[in-house]
Structure 1
Amino acid sequence: MRLIVLGCSGSGPGPGSPASGYLVEAGATRLTLDLGNGTLGALQRHADPWTLGATAFSHLHPDHCADFASLVVHRRYHPRPPFDPRAAPLPVHAPSGAHARFARAHATTEDDLAGTDLTDVFRFHDLAPGAGFTVGTGRDTVTVTAYPVVHPCPSFAFRVEHAGRVLAYSGDTAPCPGLVDAARDADLFLCEASWPHGAGNPPGVHLSGREAGEHAAAAGARRLVVTHVPAWYDADALTAEAKAAFDGPVDRAFPDAVLEV
């Protein structure tokens, strides 16, 4: 299983990276975890979007889902699609309300919203705490389990499993037990670190670098990769905070990084 970083800038795209988005590959199976601003373009450097088996969204803040609007256009209006997307709608796994949220981006007026239906080329599935879904078949099957975490909107961490290997992805979260559960004994833990550690940080929103390391240690993860650092903070400094709290290998995410799980 491989993790490819499409974008890792927190809270929006930065000068050197799109916002949050990641491609997971396992044999012939491909799926994305989040598609923030700019990530669809990055995806096309690594894979044909038509080869995706599913896309999943940790939550519905724009920096994690804005490029879904472009994926709608890609699947509806590409002049030479390799297959009929209406005959094989792409599964979308997301918090409840995703269809209405995404449809709003394509409605011409508020009154038109009810008539804007994206299920011609997508199939929407609501995430549920502890529930999983599979992508791919046979030896290439990937299992994804959603764990509720703490954020101002409904938000989930993902535990991605394939052939005995485990990738955990925090999404956006404040400190919480659900994140430890998602990352338990993970081979690679991709975890947000959105600000320096300090008493003045708003509660219930994000993790500091130190808190990312602490959660990795509590989960017994084997490797930590720090991501979602906003452009106005020093990613190396937040990574250093994580290293001080976690004894295992710690790296920071970079756009186009390819990480073996």
Structure 2
Amino acid sequence: MKLTIIGCSGSMSGKDSPASSYLIQATGKDETGFERLFSIVCDFGPGAMGHLMRYADPAMVDAMFLSHFHADHCADMVGMQVYRRWYPEGALPQIPVYSPGDGAARTRGLSADDPAETYETEFDFQQLVPGSLVRVGPLTVEAFAANHTVPTLSLRISGPSEEPDLDREVVLTYTGDTDTVASVVEAERNADLVLSEAAFEEGRDTVRGVHLTGLRAGQMAAEAGAARLVLTHLQPWTNAEKNLADARSVFTGEVHVAQAGAVFTI
């Protein structure tokens, strides 16, 4: 399994990165037995559509997952819809889009389309709830409840390792936007890599139930027994070095700050 950071800026796009969006890929067999590369995208915030083109052909994305409907996590769904409907060689096939709530209504609201627009030729919107399991090729995605201001899901993604001598499934957990909560710790349990939001700074941002700090992200990963931690969704005004140091103070595994274009193999 390979993770590519499409965008990692929190709450808005930043000068060096689109807003939250992540490409997860793994090789496996399709329903005919043919071995190929499967690609899923988790979240699709402002700027993600253009940057996705740097790392993968948007026409080859197998499924999309939206952790929640705040615009910094889903605004570029409008761009993907236009790309699929008006592709020069002909409209592209429908792909599944998994999210909490009504994904079609949210996309319609972003695009200001007519209420009769269903996007049924581009997207197959499907609702996820905590406990939902979705299989995409060799990848299995399980949804867990997060602790945010709107319904939000953390995603635990299991799949084949990129390491040829590692004979087991590996786990990537994407927290989505969340504050500390037991359900996300369970999503991170023994994960090989945790991609954790860390928008807030310890000592600066005191409101709870919205975002993690670097310290709280590190504490949750440590409690879960995770192996590696990548901090993401840092707002343009958040001090990445402080959040990195705070996470390292409580988590003994590798800790990194996400950057657009960075690749992590699992």
Same fold, judged at TM 0.5 (above): yes
Q: Which runs of 5+ in 1 are unaligned?
A: none
Aligned to 1:197: 202
SS in 1 for 2:111: coil
Aligned length: 249
Take 2:226 and 2:207, find their aligned partners in 1: how far apart are those partners?
Answer: 26
Report deviation, 1:80.
Answer: 1.8
Residue aligned with 2:249, SS: helix
Q: TM-score, normalised by structure 2?
A: 0.91
Could you tell me how far 1:145 is from its partner in structure 2? 0.4
Q: In the alignment, which residue of structure 2 is the partner of 1:41?
A: 50
Superimposed CA distance per residue, residues 94-121 of structure 1 (whole angstroms, 9 cap, x where no aligned partner): 111211110123335xxx32x1111121
What residue is the counterpart of 1:218 in the other structure? 223
State the Cα deviation string for residues 22-48 of structure 1 (Å, max 9, x = none).
Answer: 000101100000001101111100100
1:79 is matched with 88
Which AA in structure 2 matches 1:133?
V
Correspondent of 2:192 among 183, 187, 190:
187
**For 2:102 and 2:126, how far apart are their aligned partners in 1?**
10
Q: Distance in 2 between matches of 1:235 and 1:211?
A: 14
What is the 5 A alignment of 1:1-261?
1-27=1-27, 28-81=37-90, 84-85=91-92, 88-108=93-113, 112-113=114-115, 115-136=116-137, 141-163=138-160, 164-198=169-203, 201-261=206-266
2:33 equivalent in structure 1? none
Q: Tell me how far 1:17 sits from its aligned partner.
A: 0.8
Cα distance in 2 between the residues matched to 1:234 and 1:42:
24
| SS of equivalent to 2:68 | coil
TM-score, scaled relative to structure 1: 0.93
Q: CA deviation at 1:258?
A: 0.7
CA distance in 2, matches of 1:200, 1:213: 17
Cα deviation, 1:115-158, whole Å, max 9, x if unaligned, reads 1111121101101111110112xxxx100000011101000000
* Unmatched runs of 5 consecutive residues or more in structure 2: 28-36, 161-168
